């Protein structure tokens, strides 16, 4: 195991090379500078043609809709990801599957919330992320309680073990769905963290850091969002993923927090989070905490590319690409709605 | 010829085009293909340029064409490719084209939507038909098969009894994709806790998906259950798995009636579908006739607007300013094209072509024809020649096939190669028109002229080596004849092999062409051919390198760098001649001055060369191989070695020291320095207005850097001379390998069978010949041919071109519709 770097390229060298090549296609700062100057979506399309995206919109009749761009962006990511997934060997295969689980969780929650609001399933399906689709997904609306959801739909999916903790919930209402989402996420992150730790080597180094950050971010966001809701502190504490840097002391402090300032005080104990909270705010000119987190994530993911012979690059690529999609869609929305004031709040990657 | 020796003289021109005439002019220039436009607005975004709307309209037209093309391909209608090349349409016509495409596209879309709806209808009906047919068997089984009935009763019996007669089993029937069946079944079981009964039957014929047109396999299922709650659940699951449910009457008679109704409706639909398909087909066939021409037209329009986007608008907005590189000799043709463009657009103000002076390095443009093209591209793939530098391509035309043939020397193999290439050359037009999309074929086809020459030269070297499929032929009768006294029949019969003493056999003078066939049977054949081929390799190698050095003289003279002649060319020439030139002379001396009688006492060349450097000249050695060729050899050789060694510091130090001296002493000689250093003085005189700033741009003289640079060159050259000479021995090595390989193949395969007696051998000859012929073709002609090609290529790129070729230019890429079409074809 200590020589895993030596054999890495035998099994995963091709894909690592491929993903590093894909990384070269991620838009640069200059591309963004050009994109924000666009007057219409057709301009946007014209400029994207000169980047790595090539002719991905060539067969779409104008006028373009933002949702078409979004779909095509996702489609491109999914094609690339599936190419990687189809060519990989263990343990990379499991690793890539782990990446898709988070999209599955989001899809499940989306579908349940949708059915709760009496939306027809056919309308909801296109909104699901294609990376997280699974066979039983469309039949999800038959479930009316978490137990049913588990027994009928999720028992065959890889998410089944994460769901065990939620079965006790009584019925599916808004609050419980959020609790289910966070419990699932917590179990998923902890499992993924454990898996990466077992892989060891450089993969563990880069991935554990990324997942720890993800876990801490969730803990912060859960706490901040829980203010003013019926969620009790004990229930809230149960939702914190226990694999981040906040565990165990920080989480205990967070569990006791009553308002935003107390959360900030907790963050102040940790150098990397202190910085994020310091100049975040919702006033114009300031970046929101969410954006700050995204920025930090992008930084982490970029660092992941500095190390070789590890799986972190695959995770990093998917995350960076997702961020890029968010950026493009944001710019496209701003262009389409002629709302240029905030067009610069994208998060540049390179 | 001048253009092949050096690249075309280029000039930077400024074009002033009237706005209304610009389109027509650029179109004419595109047809001409002699002008390379420079992008004058590199900092402007693609979507902020002037003609971006037109480009976008072209994109849109292309999209529609691609859509049409996809539909045409889907229906398998052949697209007519007449190969004609329509002119770029005038901008007015663009609107017509757009309208045509728009109409076609909307028509197509309508037809597609119609046929999709019809097909969906058709699919539903077929599915229903299958359901009725399959479920019929389910119901029939239940009635006729007593065991199944019992079982069914057994399974459901308890509940029925419990619920009483009033409770009826409900059922739904539908169709689902076959691959979804297992998950579907499992979920049904889980959700309904096993309280449903599912029967399924596969539909044998694949059905067509109305949207994608793919063939999909589906399965009919029927689910029995009881109670409304279960019904709603089952329906939800079916919906979730995208199963289509159909009403299925409960009584057999109703089912039969429905089946008949469905059948008639299917038939009706079939006729309607047929009509829609016919209509679609007619539209597509009409489009297919023109689609290639449309593609070309749209490509041309798009290319023109792309080019126009690179132009600058002048202040008055009346005209467009372009900058372009073009060959000086073609200025007239370009002027003519501009005039034609003006006439076409009816503009009154003529376009103006203005030559500009610039310090920028012009692109390298070598005019080629279909014969020289391949040789030029071989040189270009090493590096595009620096502007106006000697182009090695014309020499390569002869030297490349010749060096190849020295390695591939076999008349038989050469003939095969020659005939293959000859076929490609003669059927050139027909083969080109066929457009075979095969990378390997393309490589051979593009190299047909080089293969032709390689084959022809191999036939010649094969004759010299006297090798035809590794056999020698006795055309003129061997000059060697065993003398009857020494080699009586009696003696000859006793030996399988015999060493023929040249002095004792009758020698009728040299064999007229190449190697005497008697060597084929000689024990020491390899020794002789090795010695011959090695010497020939060195002679040709050193000659080619000396030729390369001589070409560098032409470069120095052309670029007016006399310093380089005195400090590089002359010492290089002396260095090479005093070592390897001298060696060649010795080779010839050895060939001409030693006959078979005294050949055993001839001095050895290799040992001689080594001793020349070690300066050891043993006086009274018994061994003849260390003897000298002539009296005074010792003194002369020492002189040569000293001369060669002196050349090294000459090459290394003189130029940097001289430059430093000139820079330090006397600004009055400044101009002279530049003249000697860069040879640019005569040109600088022309553009007086730019002179001052250009002087400033010159890099300051750095002695250390110059010295290091010169040192690298010197070391490279001196070591290169030695290693490159040795490298040319690959000519011998590959030739030996080729000859031996073909001989082994003959000996192991063919000759074993030829030696067999009787009918058996005759019959065996047929398959064995096939094997031999196959191996000869694959291994000896194709594989050995490729390896000899690679080695010949290396000898040219490294050994030959390193003596004079810098190859730091960039290629002239004219704006040409022809290139554009090729490119767009390749893209597909």
Chain B residues with at least one Cβ partner in A under 8 Å: 45-48, 52, 55-56, 59-60, 62-63, 66-67, 180, 183, 186-187, 190-191, 233, 236-237, 239-242
Question: Are A193 and A214 members of one domain?
Answer: no
Cβ-defined contact of A138 to B48 (cutoff 8 Å): no
- ∠ at Cα B568 (B565, B574), nearest 5°? 100
Are residues B66 and A155, on separate chains, in Cβ contact within 8 Å?
A: no
pLDDT above 80 for B165: no
Asked whether the beta carbons of residue A135 and residue B56 sit closer than 8 angstroms, the reply is: no
Q: Give the per-residue pLDDT at B828.
A: 35
pLDDT tens, residue by residue, B699-751: 677 888 889 999 999 999 999 999 999 999 999 999 999 999 999 999 898 88
Please give the pLDDT value at position B94.
Answer: 83
Q: Report the CATH fold assignment for B128-259.
A: Alpha-Beta Plaits (3.30.70)
Is the distance from CB of B133 to CB of B340 less than 8 angstroms? no
Identify which of B56, B190, B240 has the shortest CB distance to residue A121: B240
What's the mean pLDDT in A103-128?
85
Q: Which of helix, strand or coil describes residue B326?
A: strand
CATH number at A99 reads: 1.20.1690
Scanning every residue of chain B, which has its alpha carbon at the shortest distance from the alpha carbon of A62? B60
Distance (Å) from the alpha carbon of B820 to chain A's nearest alpha carbon: 18
In whole angstroms, give the CA distance from residue B44 to residue B59.
20
CB neighbourhood size of B133 (10 A):
15
CB-based contact A61 B63, cutoff 8 Å: yes
* Residue B72 pLDDT class (50, 70, 90 cuts): confident
pLDDT, tens digit, 9 for 90 and up, residues B666-694: 654 444 444 455 444 444 334 434 444 44
Q: Is the pLDDT of residue A286 over 80?
A: no
Q: Which of B46, B60, B62 sits opposite A47 (nearest CB)?
A: B46
* Rounded Cα–Cα distance for residues B502 and B524 (Å): 13
- Tell how far CA B272 is from the center of its chain: 50
A152/B239 Cβ within 8 A = no
Lowest mean pLDDT among A54-63, B178-187, B249-258: A54-63
Name which of B41, B42, B44, B47 to mutate to probe chain A: the one with the most chain A Cβ atoms within 10 A of its Cβ: B47
Q: Which of A60-69, B194-203, B283-292, B366-375 has the highest mean predicted lDDT (pLDDT)? A: B366-375
The single residue listed with the structure tokens 């700033």 is B693
Reduced to 3 states (helix: H, G, I; strand: E, B; else coil), residue B567 is helix
Instruction: Answer whether A142 touches B (CB < 8 Å).
Output: yes
ipTM of the complex model: 0.75
User: In Å, how far is A247's CA from the nearest CA of chain B?
Assistant: 39
Same domain, residue pair A231 and A302: yes
CB contact under 8 A, A142 and B45: no
Cβ-based neighbour number of residue A200 at 10 Å = 12
**Cβ(B768)–Cβ(B749) below 8 Å:** yes
pLDDT score for B696: 46
Domain identity same for A158 and A193 = yes
pLDDT of residue B205: 81
- The average pLDDT across B122-148 equals 73
Q: What is the residue whose two structure tokens read 């080019």?
A: B307
Q: What is the mean pLDDT of residues B367-385?
A: 90
What's the token pair of residue A222?
């859960």
How many domains does chain A contain in total?
3
CB contact (8 A) between residue A136 and residue B237: no
Is a pLDDT exceeding 70 seen at residue B335?
A: yes
Question: Which A positions 33-52 lie with beta carbon below 8 A of chain B?
Answer: 34, 37-39, 42-43, 46-47, 49-50
Comparing alpha-carbon positions, the chain B residue that sits nearest to A135 is B183
Contact B183 A138 (CB under 8 A): no
Q: Measured between beta carbons, which residues in chain B are less than 8 angstroms from residue A139?
A: 187, 236-237, 239-241
pLDDT at A282: 66
Both tokens assigned to B212: 């994608």
Instruction: Using the 3D structure, point to which of A160, A178, A199 is the last residue of a domain.
Output: A199
Q: A46 and B46 in contact by Cβ < 8 A?
A: yes
A46 interaction partners in chain B (CB closer than 8 Å): 46-47, 52, 55-56
Binned at pLDDT 50, 70 and 90, residue B496 comes out as low
CB contacts of B236 in chain A (<8 Å) are: 139, 141-142
A141 and A131 housed in the same domain:
yes
For chain A, what is the largest distance between any 2 Cα atoms, rounded to a whole number of angstroms? Answer: 56
The total of other beta-carbon atoms located within 10 Å of residue B687's CB is 13
| A335: contact with B, CB 8 A cutoff | no
The partner residue sitting opposite B45, judged by closest CB among A37, A60, A152, is A37
Chain B residues near residue A34 by CB distance under 8 angstroms: 45
Say what the pLDDT of residue B698 is. Answer: 54
Q: Kindly report, residue by residue over A330-339, the tens digit of the pLDDT.
A: 999 988 888 8
In a mutational test of the B interface, the residue from A36, A46, A47, A118 whose CB has the highest number of chain B CBs within 10 Å is A46
B414-469 pLDDT, tens per residue? Answer: 999 999 999 999 998 888 887 777 888 888 998 999 999 999 999 999 999 999 99
Quick one: what percent of chain B has pLDDT higher than 70?
87
pLDDT higher than threshold 80 for residue B818: no
Q: Give the model's confidence band at B536: pLDDT under 50 very low, under 70 low, under 90 confident, else very high.
A: very high
Mean pLDDT within B781-796: 94
Q: Do B190 and A59 touch (CB under 8 A)?
A: no
CB pairs under 8 A between A and B: 64
B807 Cα to chain A: minimum distance (Å): 30
pTM of the model: 0.73
Of B387, B357, B356, B322, which is closest to residue B694 (Cα–Cα)? B357
Question: At residue B166, does pLDDT exceed 50?
Answer: no
- State whether B46 and A156 contact (CB < 8 Å): no
Which residues in chain A are contacts of B52 at CB distance < 8 A?
A: 46
Q: In the structure encoding, which two tokens stand for residue B336, read together?
A: 């003519």
The Cα–Cα gap between A266 and A252 comes to 10
The verdict on A243 and A278 lying in the same domain is yes
Nearest residue on chain B to A49, alpha-carbon basis: B46
Residues A195 and A120 in one domain: yes
Say yes or no: A156 contacts chain B, CB-CB below 8 A: yes
Chain B residue numbers with beta carbons less than 8 Å from the beta carbon of A156 are 183, 186
Q: Residue A62: which of B60, B191, B233 has the nearest Cβ?
A: B60
pLDDT computed for residue B726 by the predictor: 93
Please calculate the CA angle B569-B572-B574 and round it to the nearest 5 degrees.
110
Do residue B190 and residue A151 have CB atoms under 8 angstroms apart?
yes
User: What is the b/e burial string over A162-189, where b = at least 16 CB atoms within 10 angstroms of the residue's CB?
Assistant: bbeebeebeebeeebbbbbbbbbbbbbb
3-state secondary structure of B321: strand
List residues bridging with B216 in a β-sheet: B207
Same domain flag for A211 and A233: yes
Could you say which of A144, A178, A199 is where a domain stops?
A199
Contacts of B240 in chain A (CB under 8 A): 121, 136, 138-142
Q: Which of A286-295, B35-44, B391-400, B663-672 has the highest mean pLDDT?
A: B391-400
Q: What is the pLDDT of residues B615-644, one digit of tens each?
A: 888 776 677 777 778 888 888 999 999 999
**Inter-helix orientation angle B633-664/B670-678, to 10°:** 130
Is residue A113 located within the same domain as residue A190? yes
Co-location of A172 and A227 in the same domain: no
Min Cα separation A140/chain B (Å): 7
Q: Which of A49, A138, A153 sits opposite B242 (nearest CB)?
A: A138
Confidence category of residue B309, pLDDT binned at 50, 70, 90 = confident
Closest CA to A157 of A143, A144, A169: A143
Averaged pLDDT of chain B: 82
The residue among A50, A140, A152 with the most chain B CBs within 10 A of its CB, best to mutate, is: A152
Predicted confidence at residue B497, as pLDDT, reads: 65
pLDDT at res. B506: 66
Q: Is A58 on the interface with B (CB under 8 A)?
A: yes
Q: Is the Cβ of A55 closer than 8 Å to some Cβ of chain B? A: no
What is the predicted pLDDT for the residue at B638?
A: 92
**Residues of chain B contacting A142 with CB distance shorter than 8 Å:** 191, 233, 236-237, 240
CA angle in degrees (0–180, nearest 5) for B262-B264-B266: 70
What is the pLDDT, as a whole number, of residue B683? 41
Q: Locate the chain B residue with the closest alpha carbon to A48.
A: B46
Chain B residues inside the 8 Å CB shell of A47: 45-47
H or E segment to which residue B15 belongs: strand B10-18
Between CA B343 and CA B339 the distance in angstroms is: 6
Backbone angles phi, psi at B245, to 5 degrees: -100, 145
Of the residues B48, B231, B236, B240, the best mutation for testing chain A's interface (the one with the most A CB atoms within 10 Å of its CB) is B240
- Tell me whether residues A139 and B63 touch, CB distance under 8 A: no
- Please indicate, yes or no, whether residues A286 and A320 belong to a single structural domain of this protein: no
Give the pLDDT of residue A258.
83
- The parent domain of residue A209 ranges over 202-309
Question: How far apart are the C-alpha atoms of B480 and B521, rounded to whole Å?
Answer: 12
| pLDDT at site B85 | 74
Residue B487 DSSP symbol? S
Q: What are A22-37's pLDDT values in tens digits?
A: 988 898 888 888 888 8
Q: What share of chain A in percent tops pLDDT 90?
A: 20
User: What's the CA gap between B637 and B627, in Å, rounded?
Assistant: 13
Is A78 in the same domain as A167? no
Place of tokens 């045409």: B72
- Which has the closest alpha carbon to B219: B258, B282, B173? B173
A314 Cβ neighbours under 8 A, 6+ residues apart: A15, A19, A84, A92, A95, A96, A99
User: Over 90: is that where the pLDDT of B61 sits?
Assistant: no
Judged by CB atoms closer than 8 Å, whether chains meet at B46 and A151 is answered as no
Domain boundary residue, one of A309, A325, A340: A309
Query: By percentage, how much of chain B surpasses pLDDT 90?
Result: 25
């Amino acid at each position: 195991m200590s020589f895993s770097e030596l054999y890495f390229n035998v099994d995963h060298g091709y894909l690592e090379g491929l993903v590093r090549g894909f990384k070269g296609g991620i838009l640069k700062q200059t591309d963004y500078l050009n994109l924000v100057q666009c007057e219409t979506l057709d301009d946007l399309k014209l400029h994207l043609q000169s980047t790595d995206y090539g002719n991905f919109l060539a067969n779409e009749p104008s006028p373009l809709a933002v949702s078409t761009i979004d779909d095509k962006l996702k489609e491109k990511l999914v094609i690339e990801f599936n190419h990687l997934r189809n060519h990989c060997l263990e343990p990379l295969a499991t690793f890539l599957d782990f990446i898709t689980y988070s999209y599955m969780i989001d899809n499940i929650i989306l579908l349940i919330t949708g059915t709760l609001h009496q939306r027809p399933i056919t309308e909801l399906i296109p909104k699901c992320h294609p990376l997280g689709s699974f066979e039983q997904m469309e039949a999800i609306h038959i479930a009316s309680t978490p137990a049913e959801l588990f027994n009928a739909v999720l028992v065959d999916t890889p998410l089944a073990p994460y769901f065990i903790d939620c079965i006790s919930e009584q019925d599916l209402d808004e609050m419980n769905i959020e609790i289910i989402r966070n419990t699932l996420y917590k179990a998923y992150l902890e499992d993924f963290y454990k898996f990466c730790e077992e892989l060891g080597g450089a993969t563990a180094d880069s991935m554990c850091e990324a997942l720890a950050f993800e876990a801490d971010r969730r803990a912060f966001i859960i706490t901040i969002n829980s203010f003013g809701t019926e969620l009790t502190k004990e229930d809230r504490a149960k939702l914190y993923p226990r694999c981040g840097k906040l565990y165990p002391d920080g989480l205990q402090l967070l569990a006791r927090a009553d308002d935003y300032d107390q959360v900030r005080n907790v963050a102040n104990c940790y150098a990397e989070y202190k910085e994020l909270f310091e100049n975040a705010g919702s006033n114009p000119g300031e970046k929101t905490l969410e954006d700050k987190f995204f920025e930090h994530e992008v930084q982490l993911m970029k660092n992941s590319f500095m190390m070789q012979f590890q799986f972190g690059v695959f995770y990093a690529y998917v995350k960076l690409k997702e961020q890029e999609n968010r950026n493009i869609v944001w710019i496209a929305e701003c262009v389409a709605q002629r709302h240029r004031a905030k067009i610069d709040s994208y998060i540049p990657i390179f | 010829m001048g253009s092949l020796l050096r690249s075309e003289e280029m000039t930077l021109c400024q074009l002033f085009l009237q706005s209304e005439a610009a389109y027509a002019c650029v179109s004419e220039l595109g047809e001409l293909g002699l002008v390379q436009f420079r992008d004058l607005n590199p900092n402007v975004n693609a979507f902020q340029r002037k003609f971006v709307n037109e480009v976008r309209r072209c994109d849109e037209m292309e999209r529609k064409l691609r859509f049409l093309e996809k539909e045409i391909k889907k229906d398998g209608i052949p697209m007519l490719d007449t190969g004609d090349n329509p002119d770029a349409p005038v901008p007015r016509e663009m609107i017509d084209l757009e309208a045509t495409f728009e109409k076609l596209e909307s028509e197509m879309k309508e037809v597609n939507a119609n046929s999709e709806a019809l097909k969906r209808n058709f699919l539903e009906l077929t599915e229903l038909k299958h359901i009725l047919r399959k479920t019929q068997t389910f119901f029939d089984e239940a009635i006729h098969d007593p065991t199944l009935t019992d079982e069914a009763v057994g399974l459901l019996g308890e509940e029925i009894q419990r619920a009483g007669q009033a409770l009826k089993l409900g059922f739904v029937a539908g169709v689902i994709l076959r691959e979804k069946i297992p998950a579907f079944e499992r979920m049904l079981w889980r959700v309904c806790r096993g309280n449903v009964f599912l029967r399924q039957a596969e539909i044998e014929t694949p059905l067509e998906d109305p949207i994608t047109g793919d063939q999909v396999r589906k399965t009919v299922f029927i689910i029995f259950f009881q109670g409304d709650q279960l019904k709603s659940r089952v329906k939800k699951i079916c919906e979730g798995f995208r199963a289509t449910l159909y009403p299925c009457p409960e009584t057999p008679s109703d089912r039969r009636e429905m089946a008949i109704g469905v059948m008639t409706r299917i038939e009706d639909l079939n006729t309607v579908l047929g009509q829609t398909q016919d209509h679609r087909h007619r539209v597509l066939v009409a489009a297919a006739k023109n689609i290639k021409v449309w593609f070309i037209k749209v490509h041309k329009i798009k290319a023109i607007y792309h080019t126009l986007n690179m132009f600058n608008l002048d202040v008055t907005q009346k005209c467009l300013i372009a900058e372009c590189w073009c060959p000086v000799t073609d200025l007239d043709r370009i002027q003519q094209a501009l005039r034609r463009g003006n006439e076409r657009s009816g503009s009154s103000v003529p376009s103006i072509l203005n030559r500009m002076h610039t310090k920028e390095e012009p692109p390298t443009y070598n005019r080629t024809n279909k014969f020289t093209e391949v040789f030029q591209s071989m040189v270009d793939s090493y590096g595009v020649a620096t502007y106006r530098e000697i182009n090695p391509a014309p020499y390569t035309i002869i030297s490349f096939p010749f060096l190849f043939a020295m390695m591939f020397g076999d008349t038989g193999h050469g003939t095969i190669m020659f005939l293959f290439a000859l076929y490609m050359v003669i059927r050139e037009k027909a083969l080109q028109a066929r457009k075979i999309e095969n990378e390997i074929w393309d490589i051979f086809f593009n190299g047909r002229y080089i293969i032709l020459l390689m084959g022809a030269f191999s036939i010649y070297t094969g004759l010299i080596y006297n090798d035809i499929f590794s056999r020698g032929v006795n055309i003129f009768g061997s000059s060697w004849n065993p003398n009857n006294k020494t080699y009586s029949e009696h003696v000859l019969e006793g030996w399988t092999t015999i060493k023929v003493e040249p002095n004792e056999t009758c020698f009728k003078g040299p064999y007229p062409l190449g190697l005497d066939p008697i060597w084929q049977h000689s024990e020491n054949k390899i020794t002789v051919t090795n010695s011959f081929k090695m010497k020939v390799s060195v002679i040709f190698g050193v000659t080619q390198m000396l030729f390369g050095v001589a070409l560098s003289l032409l470069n120095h003279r052309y670029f007016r760098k006399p310093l380089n002649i005195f400090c590089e060319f002359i010492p290089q020439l002396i260095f090479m001649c005093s070592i390897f030139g001298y060696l060649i002379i010795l080779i010839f001396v050895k060939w001409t001055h030693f006959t078979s009688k005294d050949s055993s006492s001839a001095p050895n060349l290799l040992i001689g060369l080594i001793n020349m450097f070690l300066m050891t000249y043993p006086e009274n050695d018994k061994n003849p191989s260390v003897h000298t060729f002539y009296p005074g050899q010792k003194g002369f050789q020492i002189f040569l070695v000293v001369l060669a060694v002196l050349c090294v510091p000459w090459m290394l130090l003189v130029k940097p020291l001289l430059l430093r001296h000139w820079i330090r002493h006397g600004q009055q000689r400044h101009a002279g320095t530049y003249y000697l250093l860069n040879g640019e003085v005569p040109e600088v005189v022309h553009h007086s207005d730019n002179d001052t700033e250009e002087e400033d741009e010159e890099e300051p003289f750095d002695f250390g850097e110059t010295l290091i640079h010169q040192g690298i060159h010197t070391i490279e050259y001196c070591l290169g001379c030695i290693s490159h000479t040795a490298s040319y021995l690959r000519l011998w090595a590959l030739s030996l390998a080729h000859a031996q390989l073909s001989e082994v193949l003959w000996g192991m395969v063919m000759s074993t069978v030829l030696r067999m007696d009787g009918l058996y051998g005759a019959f065996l000859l047929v398959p064995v010949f096939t094997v031999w012929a196959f191996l000869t073709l694959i291994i000896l002609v194709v594989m050995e041919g490729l390896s000899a090609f690679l080695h010949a290529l290396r000898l040219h790129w490294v050994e030959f071109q390193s003596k004079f070729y810098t190859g730091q230019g960039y290629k002239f890429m004219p704006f040409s519709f022809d290139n554009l079409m090729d490119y767009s074809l390749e893209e597909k």
